[in-house]
Amino acid sequence: MIIITTKVHEYLLETLSEKGFEYEYLPTIQYQQLIEKIDRATGLVVATHIPIDKNLIDKAIQLKWIGRLGSGMEHIDVAYAQQKNILCVSSPEGNCVAVAEHALGLLLSLMRNIHKSANEVKNYSWLREQNRGFELSGKTIGIIGYGNTGKAFANLLTSFGVTILAHDKYKKDFGNQYVKESTLSQIMENADVVSFHLPLTDETLHYANQDFFNSLKKNPYIINTSRGQVIDTISLITSLKNNQILGTALDVLENENITELSEQQKASFDYLISQSNVIITPHIAGYSKEAAFKMCKVLLEKLNIS
């Protein structure tokens, strides 16, 4: 029995049926409900809304694999699952293009004041000179994290006539004619744009803190389509107020449950949404129609079910 805990493309359900697998499609299931069913499961398809912790894994006495739709495994205790001989796979190859396109869209909107001026026009304000923006061509783009999404973002940028500096602590010799493998210091010194493509780990929690922003030599735009906790929100706001950065576009937040924010989080959120050089989208970078299919296809291939 395979338990599917998130909304999936019909391709996944059709393929499971064709291959003779039994499944329960429960896209709204919550943690406690899953606990009550998990002892029957041999496979588990998840997104991010349910933590797959030791307690749940201990009760999953028949579980053979966990399939994560998308990238980022921080909500799964992968090490413990592997101790129990449970295979853990994700599918970042399926939505990396969607994330990259969204990051590019956010960047262009920031640099050319697209979102700002469009909102002004809705209020019958036709401001041209005040919305004179910057061209992407000729700029230096710093990519921090060169996994699937970082690489996909770089691929999109190659036609814009930019210099691409990419840094990844765990990858070497990935540079090419378009991408310069770089140190973090080189990005800090030269980047007009810094885009984050990092997983959330103990190392990357608040990776962009006040020391990070203070080390920037230019006043870059900051793009984050990875995980909200990669950026310390308070430090980001301080940097905006001090004009250390020209603007920011965030598809992710430290707390994305915006109806249940702490007092400090609400003050930070209210400040960000009031700024014309800030764009926030609701964690939709990887949510394209095509990605929904491709993530399922990748996952099934990795599980040898396709």
- Is residue 64 predicted with pLDDT exceeding 80? yes
Q: What is the C-alpha separation between 45 and 122, in angstroms, rounded?
A: 42
Please, which residues have CB within 8 angstroms of residue 176's CB and are 6 or more apart in sequence? Answer: none
Give the active site residue among 14, 22, 256, 290.
256
3-state secondary structure of 82: helix
Please, which residues have CB within 8 angstroms of residue 43's CB and are 6 or more apart in sequence? Answer: 1, 2, 3, 21, 63, 64, 65, 66, 67, 303
- pLDDT at position 72 is 87
Instruction: Dig out the tokens for 222 from the structure.
Output: 């900051």
Give the active site residue among 40, 75, 112, 283.
283
Report residue 71's pLDDT band, with 50, 70 and 90 as the boundaries. Answer: confident
List domains and CATH numbers for the chain.
2-90 (3.40.50.720), 96-280 (3.40.50.720)
This prediction has a pTM of 0.94
Report residue 49's pLDDT band, with 50, 70 and 90 as the boundaries. Answer: confident
Is 227 catalytic? The answer is: yes
Is 283 catalytic? The answer is: yes
Q: Round the average pLDDT of the chain to a whole number and report it.
A: 97
Summarised one tens digit per residue, pLDDT across range 73-109 is: 999 999 999 999 999 999 999 999 999 999 999 999 9
Reference 97, options 225, 220, 208; nearest CA is 225
Helices (H) and strands (E) in the chain, counts: 12, 12
Query: Mean of the pLDDT values across residues 21-42?
Result: 96
Summarised one tens digit per residue, pLDDT across range 225-251 is: 999 999 999 999 999 999 999 999 999
Give the active site residue among 9, 115, 227, 254.
227
Lowest-pLDDT range, 7-11, 68-72, 236-240?
Answer: 68-72
- pLDDT at position 306 is 73
- Is residue 304 predicted with pLDDT exceeding 80? yes
Summarised one tens digit per residue, pLDDT across range 171-228 is: 999 999 999 999 999 999 999 999 999 999 999 999 999 999 999 999 999 999 999 9
Is 68 catalytic? The answer is: no
Cα–Cα separations (whole angstroms), residue 202 to 75, 139, 148, 172, 198 = 13, 32, 20, 21, 12
